[in-house]
Amino acid sequence: MAVSVTLPALGESVTEGTVTRWLKAEGEQVEADEPLLEVSTDKVDTEIPAPAAGVLSSIKVAEDETVEVGTELAVIDDGSGGGESAPAAQAEPEQESAPEPEPEQAPEPEQKSAPAPSGGGAEGTDVTLPALGESVTEGTVTRWLKEVGEEVEADEPLLEVSTDKVDTEIPAPVAGTLLEIVVGEDETAEVGARLAVIGSADAAPAQQEQPKEEAPKQEEAPAPEPEQAPAPKQEAPAEPKAEPKPEPKAPTQQAAPAQPAAPAPATDGAYVTPLVRKLAGETGVDLSSVKGSGVGGRIRKQDVLAAAEAQKQQQSAAAPAASPSASSSTVEIPAAAAELRGKTVKMTRIRKVIAENMMKAMRNQAQLSSVIEVDVTKLMKLRARAKESFLAREGVKLSPMPFFVKAAAEALKAHPVINARINDDSTVTYHDVENVGIAVDSEKGLMVPVIKDAGDLSLAGIARKTAELAGKVRTGKLSPDDMSGGTFTISNTGSRGALFDTIIVNYPQVAELGIGATVRRPVVVNHPDLGETIAIRDMVYLTLSYDHQLVDGADAARYLGAIKARLEAGEFEGELGL
**Range 221-229, long-range pairs (CB < 8 A, 24+ positions):** 221/90, 221/93, 221/104, 224/97, 224/100, 224/101, 224/104, 225/93, 225/96, 225/97, 228/96, 228/97
Q: Which of 223-232, 251-260, 283-292 has the highest mean pLDDT?
A: 283-292
Burial of 296 (0-12, 13-18, 19+ CB in 10 A): exposed
CA angle 369, 371, 375 (to 5 degrees): 160
Q: What is the pLDDT of residues 128-155, one digit of tens each?
A: 998 876 567 888 898 899 999 999 998 8
Q: Say whether 552 is catalytic.
A: yes
Least confident interval from 324-328, 400-404, 415-419: 324-328
Q: Which of 513, 517, 464, 476 is nearest to 494 (CA)?
A: 517
Give percent of the chain above pLDDT 90: 39
pLDDT reported for residue 124 = 86
> What is the SS3 assignment for 253?
helix
pLDDT of residue 223: 42
Domains of the chain: 2-78 (2.40.50.100), 115-230+239-250 (2.40.50.100), 262-346 (4.10.320.10), 350-576 (3.30.559.10)
Q: By the 8 A CB rule, do 440 and 448 touch?
A: yes
Tens digit of each residue's pLDDT (9 = 90 or more) over 428-437: 999 999 999 9
Indicate whether 62 pLDDT > 80.
yes
CA angle, corner 355, sides to 352 and 356, nearest 5?
A: 85
Q: How confident is the model at residue 13, as a pLDDT?
A: 64
pLDDT tens column, 496-506: 889 999 999 99
Question: Residue 68's beta-bridge partner residues?
Answer: 16
| CA 472 distance to own-chain centroid | 13
Taking 80 as the threshold, does the pLDDT of residue 315 lie above it? no
* pLDDT, mean over the chain: 79
Q: Which residue type is seen at 349?
A: R
Kindly name the residue from 441, 538, 552, 555 that is annotated as catalytic.
Answer: 552
Give the model's pLDDT for residue 105. Answer: 46
- Is residue 283's pLDDT more than 80? yes
Query: Each residue of 463-499: pLDDT tens digit?
Result: 999 999 988 888 888 888 898 999 999 999 888 889 9
Contact (CB, 8 A) for 142 and 188:
no
Q: 528 or 107, which is more confident? A: 528
Active site residue 431: no
- 415-437 burial by CB neighbour count: b if 16+ within 10 A, else e? bebbbbbbeeeeeeeebeebbbb
In this prediction the pTM is: 0.49
The catalytic residue among 77, 126, 441, 548 is: 548
